[in-house]
Amino acid sequence: MHPEMIRALAARQVEDRLAVAQARNLAKLARQARKARKARRHIGNAPDQLDGIRVPDYIDGTFHGEARPAEGTSTQADSRSGAGTEGAGSAVPATGGGRGAAVRRDAA
């Protein structure tokens, strides 16, 4: 077979595969749109379940615009039950803030 014919057949096969892939993607998108419309029809005016949930803006649990705790204090350490008590198997003695005390070693 002539090389030009081989190239033409290969190009045609690539075009056919691309057309099939595009048709599949279009069909998938249409299915997703139909499902979304159907879901919206069935939900109606039901309230959103996540409306009352607030997600903190910062890792310390505060929100933007609120007063943030002073540096070195933790809002979570105070709210934990048993903060400041040593638990069984505690490797580091706990302090009032629930954090371990700095360990000093004697230079012997």
pLDDT, tens digit, 9 for 90 and up, residues 3-33? 999 999 999 999 999 999 999 999 999 999 9
Distance CA 40, CA 43 (A): 5
Q: What is the pLDDT of residues 69-88, one digit of tens each?
A: 676 665 555 544 444 454 45
Which amino acid makes up residue 57? D
- The residue-averaged pLDDT of 48-75 equals 76
Nearest to 59 by CA among 44, 48, 69, 51: 69
